Amino acid sequence: MLGTASDTMLYDYINNPQEQQFYEVYTPDSVMTFYTIQNDTLMKKLRFRYAFHNDTLYMSHPNKPVQTVHVKNFTDSTVTIDYTRTYRDTLFYCTSTTRRSELPKWKFEK
């Protein structure tokens, strides 16, 4: 199944507002846009292709190898995800919790 629904879905990582905020915007055309925002400034913006198959979310980026994450819990408002990241030959096992929210307005776009 490509996409998640007929509407755009946006999740933000549950975090302290003074720290960097991470947002994921899922659109019906199977594109996920990832934003990093700090102090009302857009620090980073990445676009991925995504697809859901059973309980796995498949992500791909033109400049990175395909990544897969396992969705542990998926409700209307919260998503809990297990995933792996590789950084400088080290493999990290991570869990993230996101919640459905609105995308904030920021002052500057990098």
Q: Where exactly are the structural domains of the chain?
A: 9-102
Distance CA 64, CA 97 (A): 23
DSSP string, 4-15: S-SS-EEEEE--
pLDDT band at 12; cut points 50, 70, 90: low
Q: What is the predicted pLDDT for the residue at 43?
A: 82
pTM for this predicted structure: 0.55
The CATH label, of 2.40.128.20, 1.20.140.10, 1.10.540.10, 1.20.90.10, for the domain at 9-102 is 2.40.128.20
User: For residue 2, is pLDDT > 50?
Assistant: no
Give φ, ψ of 59 to 5 degrees. Answer: -120, 145
Q: What is the predicted pLDDT for the residue at 22?
A: 75
